[in-house]
Structure 1
Amino acid sequence: MYQYDQYDQQIVNERVEQFRDQTRRYLQGDLSEEEFRPLRLQNGLYIQRYAPMLRVAVPYGLMNSRQVRKLAQIARDYDKGYAHISTRQNVQFNWPALEDVPEILAELASVQMHAIQTSGNCIRNTTTDQFAGVAQDEVVDPRPWCELIRQWSTFHPEFAHLPRKFKIAVHGCAHDRAATLVHDIGLEALRGKGGELGFRVAVGGGLGRTPMVGSVINEFLPWPHLLSYLDAVLRVYNRYGRRDNKYKARIKILVKALTPEVFARRVADEWALHKDGPNTLTEAEVARVAQHFVDPAYRDLENQPALLEQWDKQHPGFARWRVRNTHPHKKPGYVAVTLTLKATGEATGDLSDKQLDAIADLAERYSFAEVRNSHQQNIILADVEQGKLLELWQVLREQGFATPNQGLLSDMICCPGGDFCSLANAKSIPIAEAIQRRFDDLDYLFDIGELELNISGCMNACGHHHVGHIGILGVDKKGQEFYQVSLGGSGGRDATLAQILGPSFAQDDMADVIERIIKVYLEQRSEDERFLDTYRRIGMTPFKERVYAVSH
């Protein structure tokens, strides 16, 4: 992973001291709330329902064990003993005291972490596939390109005050596990017919109040021009994006208003002015960054299917976990392991300080001291030897990390909702827990199969409900919390937006509603169909008829 040089460290240290002085002046009354607001947002600090929330940047979801231990210490010393993994692969603290935030930032800086550009109208954390660099289906490792984008975008003076926040995702696999098509810019790294490297560029995706799937505006952008082309996209947006209405300020609104074709032409015209300028990448510059992402010291191993099958027979729980929570690795003898943070009764994506310390230990013992956060709010150990899988599973069971539900209904994405967020219309966490309890039978979950259920507490869609196979949105009805259900979304290569099932439901009805939806699927599915496949084949009507016939 990337390591700070002396200039990186100096910049982060100076930002800490700058914010320490700004906070002191605010607490003394020398800065007004209006004056302090942009300063705190530049350092990742929000004011939530009950306390400040500090969002810590985790570039493309990658951390080392030392950083994880620091997060554990911060959770213990400055928060209520836990942290939260966000859908943008960052880490959030929900209960820091304002006066402690400068010290928290200093603690983060000591392990090469910060909270810069995790909020505000700027380019946010660039995200990617949680299996980047190790996946068997990978065409290009996106991590060096994510790092190049991070270095280009951090403190970029031209894009510090965009019309609205701006999100970029990159993937380089046959399967899009980074939901790139619902980002402001989605990049797919790919090879041309002659093996040359380039990027397919999609622009104008996004969720929130006006969800849209991005439009491809460049089918193959040669790699040397990646940053200059991104410059052109951002300049067109900065120039023409709406600033009079924050609900219409995202780039997706501009792309739709102009049409993708016209937007692409404006980008091309802008790009022509500086296509071969200082931002043109060289092999030397790419190599400088790529050296931080070389393979770890893998052992020369072979795949061990016979051993794994033997363990499967001896330990049915291990077999179930291995099927769901391990991912094929490019290196023989290794697998990537997902620790799902979705045990029943636990808030989705939350980790205690003790769990963080345990994960750091696991990373050092089993995965070259590296940890990854996923878009699905889980933790990944990317480089585990197959011969150590049974031992790891036994340890994970003791620590509560071995729930074998990765990719299943109970492995849901869920925002903090009304329990924490001042923007939320309704609580999300109790809905997630009620559904998890209803579907706590692992045999039933395995029979249902792959199913993505996403929950958001408001139209900002932090829980990505628009692209869930089943999506749930909290809504306010005359001061009461209700929930709108949608079906058929996907954030993958075949990205689609879910369609609303019908009128919303009360909180106590939600588990029943989801169960009726699942029963229609199980009755209607053909062999090997996922929920999404069945929905696309039979449409909305059978689900609607079953749910509302009972509800009304």
Structure 2
Amino acid sequence: MYKYNDFDEAFVRNRVAEFREQVERRVDGSLTEDEFKPLRLKNGLYLQLHAYMLRVAVPYGTLNSTQMRQLALIAERFDKGYGHFTTRQNIQFNWPRLKDVPEILELLADVEMHAIQTSGNCIRNVTADHFAGAALDEIEDPRPTAELLRQWSTDHPEFQYLPRKFKIAITGAPNDRAVTKAHDIGLRMVRSEAGDPGYEVIVGGGLGRTPMVGKTVRDFLPKADLLPYLEAIMQVYNLSGRRDNKYKARIKILVHETGLDEIKEMIEEAFERQKRDFRGPPSELLEMIEEAFAPPLFDNTQSLAFDHAQEANPAFRSFVETNVAAHKNPAYGIVSVSLKPIGGTPGDATAEQMRTLADLAEAYGHDELRVSHEQNIILPHVRKADIPAVYARLREAGLATANIGLVSDIIACPGMDYCALATARSIPIAQQISTRFDELKLEREIGPLKIKISGCINACGHHHVGHIGILGLDKAGKENYQITLGGDGTETATIGERTGPGFDAEDLIQAIEAIIETYLGLREDTSETFLQAYRRVGAEPFKQAIYARPEDEARAA
């Protein structure tokens, strides 16, 4: 992992001291809420429905055990005993008191963490593949690039007041686990014909009220050109992006309204200018960053304990099938820990669970943890011989749900239970769906299926790229849920298609059941996934199934 240097330490401590003084002025009335708002947002502090919410940055989703234990301490001392892991690979605390926030930030600084640029019209927390450095299919670990981008973008004077917030994601593998095509800039590591590593650069992706799949502006960009090329993209956006309407201020709108060919030309012209004058980071810094992400010293001792445990324990075998992925080292596995217990709140973890995860990372995982954009926690480097012991500890902590990638592994935003922008609840819907399909005992038969739920049009639950997406809206004072089908957040990204009129909360679960029953009835065999079947047959069979009742037919007419 990257470790702070003296500059990093001083920068973060100075920001904490500055914000402490600003909070004191707000508490004593010297600052109005309107005056305080831009100051708190620069430090990741939101005012939600019931309380302040602090969003803590977890750059590219990477944590160590000390940091996870500090998050547990903050949850226990300053919140209600839990934290909420988000689709930005961050963690949110939903109940801090304003006067306590500076102390929380001090505790974060003690373990090389902060809340800078987790909000505002700036470059937000850079996200990455949660299997980075471990994945069998990886071309190169993307985290050194992500760390370079974090340093480049933090407090960059030219990009602190962009037309709108700006999000960058990077993956190091051909299988995209970072949803790069739904970001303002997506970077996919590729190799040239000569075998040199570089990047495919994707621009103009995004969800929200105008969902768009990003478009490739460079098939191959040499690694040495990354920063001047990104500077060029940012300059084009900063100068040409719309500022008259915040709903049309994202770079995706600029790409759409200007056209891809012209945008590419604008970027290339800016790149040529930028490249002539660009002074890249010193080689010592690049070497230091690369060294920080050197692979751990793996123990390649082979053992039959992993195989024997699967033979002896069907529950453990089920856990391995869904929650353990192939590692580039054959003696190891990547363990995904589900934060989606049946009937639970997606993404929530208690302080005690955080401590358990920290203990496991320290004892069995080379002291590394990852937060995934799917609101789960990853132990990226676990020796196969140790996975049975890890599983036993997870069971004791209520963290051994064997559902990664299945129906109950649902992404859901906090919705109207917390968020001031939400128009409907998300959490109860996720809880009802997971509970219902647990009752039906169909998860394994259904196979891979991604359900994503957003409580408003801002799409924090990524519903547009869910195989089944659910969008909660207010319809004449009543919660109403639209369904989209066929979305995909991977390298074959697509935006889901709306099925038709929405459903009241009490009818929604029945509609989801009808969709899945239709899939089970029309798939060619058990190997055909929901997304594959949808792409083969289209939307019509599913629409017929969910609008089959007379009242629904009348509503859809």
Q: TM-score range by the shorter chain?
A: over 0.9
Give yes or no for contact 1:124–1:165 (8 Å, CA) kept in 2: yes
Q: 1:442, CA displacement in angstroms?
A: 8.4
- Which residue matches 1:548? 547
- CA separation of 1:283 and 1:13: change in aligned 2, threshold 3 A: closer
> What's the CA shift string for 1:264-299, capped at 9, x where partnerless?
100111111121433435654422211100111211
- Shift of residue 441 of structure 1? 4.9
So what's the TM-score if we normalise by structure 1?
0.98
Paired position in structure 1 for 2:555: none
Partner of 2:369: 371
Secondary structure, counterpart of 2:200 in structure 1: strand
Say yes or no: does 1:458 pair with 2:471: no
Q: Distance in 2 between matches of 1:282 and 1:43?
A: 29
Partner of 2:532: 533
| Secondary structure of the corresponding residue to residue 37 of structure 2 | helix
Question: Which residue is equivalent to 1:2?
Answer: 2
Counterpart residue number, 1:338: 336
The worse-fitting range, judged by mean Cα deviation, of 443-452 and 153-162 is 443-452
Equivalent-residue separation in structure 2 for 1:332 and 1:441 (angstroms): 36
Gaps of 5+ in 2: 553-557
Structure 1 equivalent of residue 214 of structure 2: 214
Matches of 1:147 and 1:332, distance apart in 2: 27
**Does the aligned pair in 2 maintain the 1:301–1:332 contact within 8 Å?**
no
- Deviation at residue 444 of structure 1 after TM alignment: 1.5
Paired residue for 2:225?
Answer: 225
Q: Equivalent residue for 1:418?
A: 416
> How far apart are residue 174 of structure 1 and its match?
2.0
Counterpart of 2:70 in structure 1 is 70
Letter in structure 2 aligned against 1:48: Q
CA contact under 8 A between 2:306 and 2:386: conserved in structure 1? Answer: no
Correspondence list, 1:55-454, <5 A: 55-280=55-280, 284-302=284-302, 307-441=305-439, 443-454=441-452
Find the counterpart in structure 1 of residue 490 from structure 2: 492
- 3-state DSSP class of the match of 2:438? coil
Q: Is residue 454–residue 468 contact of structure 1 (8 Å, CA) maintained in 2?
A: yes
Q: Is the 8 A contact 1:226 1:281 kept in 2?
A: no
Aligned mates of 2:4, 2:224 — CA distance in 1: 24
For 2:392, the aligned partner's letter is: Q
RMSD: 1.2
Structure 2 counterparts to residues 501-520 of structure 1, below 5 A: 501-520=499-518
Distance 1:276 1:436 in 2: 55
Corresponding letter in the other structure for 1:512? Q
For the residues of structure 2 that align with 1:325 and 1:230, how far apart are their CA atoms? Answer: 36
The superposition leaves residues 448-504 of structure 1 with CA deviations (integer Å, 9 ceiling, x where unpaired) of 000000000000000000000000000101111110000000000000000001100
Aligned letter for 1:322?
Answer: V
Deviation at 1:396, TM superposition (A): 1.1
Secondary structure class of the residue paired with 1:392? helix
Identity %: 51
- The alignment partner of 1:496 has SS state of coil
Q: Distance in 2 between matches of 1:215 and 1:389?
A: 40
Any idea what SS the aligned residue of 1:332 has? coil
Amino acid at match of 2:470: I
Distance 1:160 1:71 in 2: 27
Partners of 2:400 and 2:73 in 1: how far apart? 24
Deviation per CA, 1:358-387, whole angstroms, max 9, x where unpaired?
111111111012111001000011111111
Determine the C-alpha separation between the residues in 2 that align with 1:453 and 1:543.
15
Q: Residue type matched to 1:158 in 2?
A: E
Per mean C-alpha deviation after superposition, the further-off stretch among 347-356 and 441-450 is 441-450
CA-to-aligned-CA distance 1:91-150 (integer Å, 9 cap, x gap): 100000111111111111111100000000000011011100010000111000000000
Q: Secondary structure at the match of 1:164?
A: coil
The answer as to whether partners of 1:241 and 1:250 remain within 8 angstroms in 2 is yes
SS where residue 122 of structure 1 aligns? coil
CA contact (8 A) 2:482 2:500 kept: yes
1:181-218 deviation digits (Å, cap 9, x = unpaired): 00000001111111112110000000001000000001
Letter in 2 for 1:251: I
Contact kept in structure 2, 1:227 and 1:279, CA below 8 Å: no
Runs of 4+ in 1 over 4 A off after TM superposition: 281-284
Name the CA distance, whole Å, in 1 between partners of 2:485 and 2:300: 46
Q: Deviations over 1:500-537 (max 9, x none)?
A: 01100011112111110000000000121110000011
